[in-house]
């Protein structure tokens, strides 16, 4: 098992100290999730990042010494490193160097199971790696240059260019295949939408207990053990989206989806790569926002989840807040319901599963309400949807959009909240 040394930089322009500590704790979990052993951590407070080596020159020397004394195999930085920083650090520390983004990409690539997840991770990885080949480029061209002053390109450089072109070609091919899979997924989704069955999606920070909740519901309302999903105490246990039908005997059936968990500062390329997996969330009628109530940072985690939902364009979907792992907070055997959209429960001991189901049923059957909307002209799809799925009393074509007065379901009124006047 590789021995890792974590380096964190607390840059004063960034958010407060508490966030830094949380980020460092999270780095430790990420390193463990990547099957490495944390042998030490070192921190630096500074005004701004050094463009050449990220941390200051004195600190680099300190890290160099620490690598030797702790016999570390790899140094991992708590942020993203630019290609130049990465190259310089590797040279000066004379040791393998990795940044947070690469670490997350590594974890994702070992977890990916389905063809789609594998492709998504590989695309993100290649996209992140390609510009970082430049650093390698310099090293190799120096090496090649020695073979003769007359040749304009060193052997190493030529090889690199070939590698680069090959990787770009691979990237293009993989993207094409992904588009095809996304198309199939879209077809499946449309079919599900036409089935008229309401769709509920589990969302939340990684390790909050989403998959455990899915399994708890499945074990109560489905007798097929094979339908269970993978749950484990590690970051990013789930990478694929799984959709299962939950059919309680006395209530309406619904489709429940479990998907990849969120994390703060998810590498941009990765977030983009997982867009199509997360489409399921965008299309949901109801979200179960799961939080690990026993984690002292659960509020920050919920904020990250909310921000991510906004980025996905899912902020208008009605939500039930599920404060999970209540058993670890001295809340005993009791599941507590607060209002119509908040619940404390323990998925592991199946405490509160019935209460959760009751809340879901209530939200889904929430009845109908009269409302007036102004839908912009470019959203003709919404107008068509409402004509098919609501009782439209009146339609007018106004300057700012299509005015509609209709009796619509509470789910739709939540979904199109932004157009309601
Ligand atoms: N004590 C306790 N542990 C729980 C509870 N719910 C889940 N866990 C544990 O928390 C860990 C993570 O659970 P998962 O269901 O895999 O979490 P997740 O949200 O799906 O995580 P990712 O897929 O990694 O994003 C597992 O070890 C579960 O056994 C709970 O109510 N109480
Ligand atoms: Mg999971």
Share of the chain above pLDDT 70, in %: 90
**Residue 250 C-alpha to ligand 2 middle, in angstroms?**
28
Per residue, what are the HEC states of 72-132?
CCEEEECCCCCHHHHHHHHHHHCCEEEEHHHHHHHHHHHHCCCHHHHHHHHHHHHHHHHHH
Residues 107 and 236 sit within 8 Å (Cβ to Cβ): yes
Q: How many CA atoms lie within 13 A of 60 on its CB side?
A: 19
**Whose atoms come closest to the Cα of 232: which ligand?**
1
According to the model, what pLDDT value does residue 301 have?
A: 94
According to the model, what pLDDT value does residue 145 have?
A: 42
Instruction: Convert the pLDDT of each residue in 171-199 to its tens digit.
Output: 899 999 988 988 888 888 777 766 667 89
**Residue 124 C-alpha to ligand 2 middle, in angstroms?**
21
According to the model, what pLDDT value does residue 304 have?
A: 92
Give 147's pLDDT tier (boundaries 50, 70, 90): very low
**Binding site membership of 235 for ligand 1 (Cβ less than 6 Å):** yes
Using the predicted structure, report yes or no on whether residue 9 has a pLDDT greater than 80: yes
According to the model, what pLDDT value does residue 270 have?
A: 77
Higher confidence at residue 144 or residue 28?
28
Instruction: Report, as an integer, the average pLDDT of 371-377.
Output: 94
Least confident of 312-316, 324-328, 357-361, 407-411: 407-411
Give 144's pLDDT tier (boundaries 50, 70, 90): very low
According to the model, what pLDDT value does residue 224 have?
A: 67
Instruction: Report, as an integer, the average pLDDT of 123-151.
Output: 61
**Binding site membership of 352 for ligand 1 (Cβ less than 6 Å):** no
**Residue bearing the CA closest to ligand 1, atom 32:** 325
**Binding site membership of 289 for ligand 1 (Cβ less than 6 Å):** no
Give 148's pLDDT tier (boundaries 50, 70, 90): very low
**Binding site membership of 351 for ligand 1 (Cβ less than 6 Å):** no
Higher confidence at residue 110 or residue 267?
110
**Residue bearing the CA closest to ligand 1, atom 23:** 238
> What residues are neighbours of ligand 2 (ion), with CB under 5 Å?
210-211, 237-238
According to the model, what pLDDT value does residue 221 have?
A: 79
Task: Decide: residue 181, CB within 10 A, 0-12 exposed, 13-18 middle, 19+ buried.
Answer: middle
Report the SS3 class of residue 306: helix
Higher confidence at residue 96 or residue 270?
96
- Mean model confidence pLDDT for the chain: 85
**Binding site membership of 206 for ligand 1 (Cβ less than 6 Å):** yes
**Binding site membership of 238 for ligand 1 (Cβ less than 6 Å):** yes
**Sheet with 391-398, edge to edge strand ranges:** 368-375, 401-409, 391-398
**Residue 348 C-alpha to ligand 2 middle, in angstroms?**
13
Using the predicted structure, report yes or no on whether residue 213 has a pLDDT greater than 60: yes
Using the predicted structure, report yes or no on whether residue 140 has a pLDDT greater than 90: no
Q: Which atom of ligand 1 is nearest to the CA of 261?
A: 25
Instruction: Convert the pLDDT of each residue in 74-90 to its tens digit.
Output: 999 998 898 899 999 99
Instruction: Convert the pLDDT of each residue in 13-49 to its tens digit.
Output: 655 566 788 888 899 999 999 999 999 999 998 888 8
**Whose atoms come closest to the Cα of 206: which ligand?**
1
Distance CA 420, CA 3 (A): 56
User: Are β-strands 37-46 and 74-77 bridged in parallel, bridged antiparallel, or unpaired?
Assistant: unpaired
Instruction: Convert the pLDDT of each residue in 291-341 to its tens digit.
Output: 999 999 999 999 999 999 998 888 888 999 999 999 998 876 667 888 889
Least confident of 46-50, 66-70, 200-204, 394-398: 46-50
Its pTM stands at 0.78
């Amino acid at each position: 098992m590789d021995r890792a040394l974590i380096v964190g930089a607390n840059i004063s322009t960034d958010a407060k100290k508490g966030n830094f500590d949380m980020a460092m704790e999270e780095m430790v979990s990420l390193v463990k999730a990547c099957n490495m052993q944390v042998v030490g951590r070192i921190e630096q407070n500074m005004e701004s990042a050094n463009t050449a080596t990220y941390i200051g020159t004195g600190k680099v020397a300190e890290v160099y010494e620490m690598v030797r004394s702790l016999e570390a195999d790899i140094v991992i930085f708590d942020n993203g490193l630019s290609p130049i920083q990465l190259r310089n650090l590797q040279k000066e520390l004379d040791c393998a160097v990795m940044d947070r983004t690469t670490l997350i990409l590594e974890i994702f690539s070992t977890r990916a199971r389905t063809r789609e997840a594998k492709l998504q991770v590989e695309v993100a990885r290649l996209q992140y790696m390609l510009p970082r080949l430049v650093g390698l480029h310099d090293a190799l061209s120096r090496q090649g240059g020695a073979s003769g002053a007359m040749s304009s390109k060193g052997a190493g450089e030529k090889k690199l260019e070939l590698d680069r072109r090959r990787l770009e070609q691979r990237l293009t091919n993989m993207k094409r295949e992904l588009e095809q899979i996304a198309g199939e997924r879209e077809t499946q989704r449309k079919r599900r939408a036409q089935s008229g069955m309401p769709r509920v999606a589990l969302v939340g920070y990684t390790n909050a207990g989403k998959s455990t909740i899915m399994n708890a519901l499945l074990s109560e309302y489905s007798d097929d053990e094979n339908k269970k999903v993978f749950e484990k105490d590690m970051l990013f246990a789930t990478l694929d989206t799984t959709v299962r039908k939950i059919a309680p005997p006395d209530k309406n059936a619904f489709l429940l989806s479990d998907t990849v968990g969120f994390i703060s500062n998810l590498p941009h390329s990765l977030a983009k790569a997982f867009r199509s997996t997360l489409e399921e969330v965008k299309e949901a009628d109801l979200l179960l926002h799961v939080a690990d109530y026993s984690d002292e940072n659960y509020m920050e985690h919920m904020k990250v989840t909310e921000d991510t939902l906004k980025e996905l364009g899912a902020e208008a979907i009605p939500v039930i807040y599920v404060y999970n792992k209540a058993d670890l907070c001295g809340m005993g055997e009791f599941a507590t319901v607060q209002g119509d959209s908040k619940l404390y429960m323990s998925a592991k001991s199946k405490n509160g599963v019935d209460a959760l189901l009751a809340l879901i049923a209530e939200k889904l059957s929430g009845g109908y309400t009269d409302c007036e909307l102004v839908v912009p002209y470019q959203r003709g799809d919404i107008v068509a949807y409402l004509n098919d799925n609501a009782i439209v009393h009146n339609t007018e074509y106004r300057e700012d959009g299509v005015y509609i007065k209709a009796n619509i379901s509470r789910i739709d009124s939540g979904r199109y909240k932004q157009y309601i006047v």
